[in-house]
Structure 1
Amino acid sequence: MLDYDGEADRYDESRGGLPRARAAAAALGSLLPGHHTTVLDLACGTGIVGGCLREQGRTVLGVDRSAGMLARAEGRLDAVVRADARALPFADASLPAVTAVWLLNLLDDAAPVIAEAARVLRPGGVFVTTVDKAAAHAVDSDIDALVAPYRPAELPDGAGRVTALAAAEGLRPVRTARFTGHGQGRTPLALAARVREGSLYAEGGLPLAERLEALPGPTTPRAEPDFTLLALRRRNR
């Protein structure tokens, strides 16, 4: 797992910065209710996406486990709380909207987070989350052709999996939106380094790393990913 406290100071610049954040916030805004809604942003990180939501007129509350990330988010969001997204310090049915951007893909099991999001949502409230993150990179066909065999058949942020877990919590899918991950086109060399250190596609090991490094243009970023957001609405009681 990435050391988010240690990465906080350079996290934004290494993840596409404001162009990526604004694209994500624009897509989120198209799925969120109203223009002045209060939004709880799970795993808010540095608050860069939430800050863009604030620019749209929304009140944004951020939750994250990393103190380093929250120190950066504090000036961007209306309020921040250090907490685990699986145990939120908010009352039942107290919020109109919850977001989780690039969170479920990091988990072994998305069920507790989805359950908490459903718990704090008001009837008719909306939970918006990214899904199918791995598939977003399939546009870099030469890289994806090598890593696809090492991708698990079922991922915690798979749209089908998320929809099924959400249904059990009284959430139903209503709409989707897509946005470009500006500045996140992968390079074979950078991905090979992560394979070598065992933080990604570890099953491929050294042979996979070497095959990635042998691809043409090893330092040339491939096409930027196209991410998917899924909006799920809590049933009215």
Structure 2
Amino acid sequence: MLDYDEEANRYDATRGGEPRARAAADAVLALVPENAHTLLDLACGTGIVTRHLTREGLRPFGVDRAAAMLRGAAPRLSGAVCQADVRRLPFADDTFDAVSAVWLLHLLPDAAPVVAEAARVLRPGGVFVTTVDKAAAHLGGSDICALVAPHGRRRLADATARITQLAAEHGLHPHGSAGFTGHGQGRVPAKLAREVRAGRIYPKGGEDLAAHLEALPNQQTARPDPVYTVLAFSA
């Protein structure tokens, strides 16, 4: 997993910036009930998405383990942030009307502790909203997809079936779905090859994968933006 304290300074610029953040927030908000007043955003990072998770009567809070990320999030969220491990949240049971997790579960070896904590801090009638199947969103049939597919994670912590199962184990039931475009996230062969060589992505591919990426045509041309899936589960 990346060192997100080190990643903080470049995070927004390398993750699609405001267009992607707004698209993600709109998809999450579409699944949050109108009567929700408090929302906890897990692994909020720099708060670039979290600050858009608001509307009249709804206030977002952010929690993240990386101090450097929270330094960016704090001014965006008027200080409504907390440093903590999302697998052990420092909040009482039944605290929030909604809990969100955007691009979190796919990073974990097992999503079970996070889903359990989300369910615990949700009030009755609240919703847990999360992105799922992130890897699948990047495997949309481009020439890059064919190369990287064998080097992806074999066990996907954010697979829809797995998250639905975990949610059910904690009394959370399907509440709807949405999708959004990851603006600016279409992969560029030359850039991805550099990331692979640096060990930042697909580390098992190493030099061999990087060389194959560099052999693709249109080295500086981005492939189509991914379309991400968001699921909601109600308590």
Match of residue 13 from structure 2: 13
8 Å Cα contact 2:36-2:97 kept in structure 1: no
User: Cα offset for 1:229?
Assistant: 0.4
User: Cα offset for 1:9?
Assistant: 2.7
Matches within 5 A, 1:135-146: 135-139=136-140, 141-146=142-147
Quick one: which amino acid aligns to residue 59 of structure 2?
T
Match of residue 185 from structure 1: 186
Partners of 2:55 and 2:184 in 1: CA distance: 22
Partners of 1:8 and 1:104 in 2: CA distance: 19
Moved more, 76-85 or 39-48: 76-85
Give me the identity figure in percent: 61
Quick one: which amino acid aligns to residue 74 of structure 2?
E
Aligned to 1:51, the other structure's residue is in SS state: helix
Match of residue 159 from structure 1: 160
User: Cα offset for 1:173?
Assistant: 1.5
Quick one: which amino acid aligns to residue 58 of structure 1?
L
Quick one: which amino acid aligns to residue 77 of structure 2?
L
8 Å Cα contact 1:101-1:130 kept in structure 2: yes
Q: 5+ unaligned residues in a row in structure 2: which ranges?
A: none
Aligned to 2:34, the other structure's residue is in SS state: coil
Quick one: which amino acid aligns to residue 72 of structure 1?
G
* 1:32-82 Cα deviation digits (max 9, x unpaired): 011652100000011111111235652011000111111111112151000
Matches within 5 A, 1:50-89: 50-54=50-54, 57-78=57-78, 79-89=80-90
Partners of 1:153 and 1:6 in 2: CA distance: 27
Aligned to 1:99, the other structure's residue is in SS state: strand
User: Cα offset for 1:90?
Assistant: 0.6
Partners of 2:179 and 2:230 in 1: CA distance: 6
Match of residue 202 from structure 1: 203
Match of residue 121 from structure 1: 122
Aligned to 2:76, the other structure's residue is in SS state: coil
* 1:168-202 Cα deviation digits (max 9, x unpaired): 11111121100011111111122222322333223
TM-score calculated relative to the size of structure 2: 0.94
Change (3 A) 1:34 1:222: same
Aligned to 2:94, the other structure's residue is in SS state: coil
User: Cα offset for 1:4?
Assistant: 1.9
Partners of 1:57 and 1:19 in 2: CA distance: 24
* 1:150-185 Cα deviation digits (max 9, x unpaired): 223430011111111111111111211000111111
* 1:95-131 Cα deviation digits (max 9, x unpaired): 1100000000111111100100011011111000000
Match of residue 37 from structure 2: 37
Quick one: which amino acid aligns to residue 8 of structure 2?
A
- Is the aligned partner of 1:176 residue 2:164? no
TM-score calculated relative to the size of structure 1: 0.93
Match of residue 112 from structure 2: 111
- Is the aligned partner of 1:22 residue 2:42? no
Partners of 1:75 and 1:57 in 2: CA distance: 20
Could you list the structure 1 runs, at least 4 aligned residues long, displaced by more than 6 angstroms after superposition.
Answer: none
Partners of 1:152 and 1:81 in 2: CA distance: 30
Match of residue 3 from structure 2: 3
Quick one: which amino acid aligns to residue 161 of structure 2?
G
Partners of 1:174 and 1:114 in 2: CA distance: 15
Partners of 2:178 and 2:62 in 1: CA distance: 22
Partners of 2:89 and 2:36 in 1: CA distance: 22
Larger helix proportion, structure 1 or 2? 1
Moved more, 28-37 or 159-168: 28-37
8 Å Cα contact 1:139-1:224 kept in structure 2: no
